Amino acid sequence: MLRLPARVPGLLLMALLVTSLLGTAHAEPGRWYATPAEVQAGLDFSGERLRAAWPALHAGDQEPYPDAARVRARLAENPALAASLPAARRQDYAGLAAELQDAWRAYHRGDYQQAWRLAEPLGLLGLYPASRARAIHTTYLVPEAERTDRYRSQMRDIEQALGEADPGDPNILFEQAYVMGRYSQGISIPTALAQGMAGRIRDTLRETLELAPRHPEALATFGAYHAEIVSQVGGFLARVTYGARAEEAVESYQQAIEIAPQLIIAYVEYADSLLKLDRQANIPQALRLLRTATTLPAEDATERLDRQRAQRMLADLQAR
C-alpha cells in the first residue's frame, strides 16, 4: 500500500495516486476473442482516412478528433491527465495524438485487443478508447457465461480511475453507465435493483448529459434505463421509486435518433425497449425500427456488429 507524508501538495498527491494506479493497470482483462472476418472485411482507416471518417464514426458519442491541438488542450485543462503520463511525454502532443489515433484505428477495424493495448499506456488520456474496446468486445464477442464477470471487472477499473483522478470526460461517464447497465442485465434487473444499481446508472447518465446534453448514445442508454425499470417493476413503482417512465424512454430514444439518424444502435435498443414495455402492442413499431437498422450504413466493425444484432432480432420477430 502506498504511504505518503502527512503534507503533500495537492497536485503531487494526485500524480502519485495516478502513478500508483497506472502501475497495475496494464494486466490483460482476460482472453480476447477474434472479430469475425466478415465484420472486418474492407475496413481501412489508415492515414487521413480516419480523420475523414471521424464525424460519421463518432456521431453517437461526439468524441472530438484526437489531433495534437486537442491533446494539448486536454492536458492543459486537466492536470490529472498529464499526471497519468511519464514526465517525458507530457509535452509530446503530436506523438500522443498519433498513438491515440492508432488506438482508434484498431478499434474501428474491430481489432479490440490491439486498440486496448495501444490505449492503455496512455493513462487517463487513453482511458476512453481502452474502455470502449474492452466493453464492445465483451458485449459482442465474449461468450455469455463470461460476460458478467468481465463487466464487473471493468466497472471496478473505471470506478477506480474516476475515483483517483476524474478526467472530466462525458464519454468516460457514459462508458461507466454503459458497463453498469450491461452488468445489471447480466445479473438480472431485479438483482441489480436490489444492489442499488438503478440509482447509480441514472445518476451517471444524468451527469453525462449535463456535460453533453446532445450525446446520442447517452440519450439512447437513458431510454433503455427507463424501459428496463418500467418493464420490471411496473409504471407506478418505477415512477415513484426510480423516477423511470415509459414516456421518457420513448422521448430519449427519439431525441437520440433526431440528433444522429444514422446511429444503428439507437434503433436496435429502441426496438428492444419497446418489446420489453409491451411486446404485442409494439411489434409493428419494433419491426419498422429493426428494418431501418438493417439498411443503415455500418461505418466500422462495431456498427457492423450492431447491424448483425438487428438482423437477428428482426429474423426472430418475423418468425413468430
pLDDT given at position 8: 34
- For 267, the grid coordinates are 434503433
Are the CB atoms for 214 and 62 separated by under 8 Å? Answer: yes
What are the residues whose beta carbons fall under 8 Å from the beta carbon of 152, sequence distance 6 or more? 183
Question: Residue 32 domain-assigned?
Answer: no
Which stretches within the chain are classed as H helix?
A: 10-22, 37-40, 49-57, 68-77, 79-83, 93-109, 112-119, 127-140, 144-164, 170-187, 189-194, 197-211, 216-233, 235-237, 246-259, 264-277, 279-295, 301-319
166 contact partners, CB below 8 Å, separation of at least 6: 80
Residue 286 C-alpha from the chain's centroid? 24
Q: Flag residues of the chain having pLDDT under 50.
A: 1-25
The Cα–Cα gap between 33 and 116 comes to 13
Instruction: Report yes or no on 45 lying in a domain.
Output: yes
3-state secondary structure 158-187: HHHHHHHCCCCCHHHHHHHHHHHHHHHHHH
- Which residues constitute the domain of residue 98? 9-21+41-125
Residue 164: its pLDDT value, please? 67
End-to-end CA separation in angstroms for the chain: 57
pLDDT at 11: 39
CB-CB neighbours of 47 under 10 Å:
10
Does 295 fall in a domain? no
Q: What is the pLDDT of residue 188?
A: 87
How big is the CA angle at 266 (ends 276 and 260), to the nearest 5 degrees? 155
90 CB-contact burial (10 Å; exposed 0-12 / middle 13-18 / buried 19+) = middle
In a domain, 64, yes or no: yes
CA 254, 259, 263 angle in degrees (round to 5)? 80
At residue 9, the pLDDT reads 38
Total domains in the chain come to: 1
In a domain, 216, yes or no: no
Q: Is residue 164 part of a domain?
A: no
Residue 320, pLDDT score: 80
Q: What confidence score (pLDDT) does residue 26 get? A: 63
pLDDT at site 167: 67
* Nine cell digits for residue 192: 441489480
Amino acid code (one letter) for 289 = L
Residue 299 grid cell: 461505418
Cα–Cα dist 272/130, whole Å: 27
Asked whether residue 142 is domain-assigned, the answer is: no
Query: 0.85 exceeded by the pTM?
Result: yes
